């Protein structure tokens, strides 16, 4: 039983950095797609706002919130 707990704890710790590095990948996708996207001014402003908010959350260590916010921007961009 101790081995299982130890294994689960190790897996949990290993997966945390993966979340942290997911945010920059999403930001990069947004940055690459935004200039090519056919959006109106309001949509473009919303994507830029969400992208900036996602980066801020990432820097604060709030990675799940960052991923969720960046996903909203990616949905507008259809990526």
- pLDDT, residue 7, reads 44
Which tens digit of pLDDT belongs to each residue from 22-70? Answer: 899 999 999 999 999 999 999 999 999 999 999 999 999 999 999 999 9
Neighbours of 63 (CB within 10 A): 19
Query: Distance between CA 74 and CA 28 in Å, rounded?
Result: 11
- The two tokens of residue 37 are 């996207």
Distance in angstroms (rounded) separating the CA atoms of residues 23 and 59: 10
- Give pTM, 2 decimals: 0.74
**Could you give the 3-state DSSP secondary structure of residue 62?**
coil
């Amino acid at each position: 039983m101790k081995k299982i707990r130890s294994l689960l704890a190790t897996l949990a710790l290993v997966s945390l950095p993966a979340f942290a590095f997911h945010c920059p990948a999403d930001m990069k996708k947004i940055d690459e797609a935004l200039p090519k996207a056919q959006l109106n001014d309001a949509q473009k402003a919303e994507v830029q706002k969400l992208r900036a908010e996602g980066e801020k959350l990432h820097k604060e260590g709030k990675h799940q919130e960052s991923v969720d916010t960046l996903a909203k921007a990616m949905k507008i961009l259809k990526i």
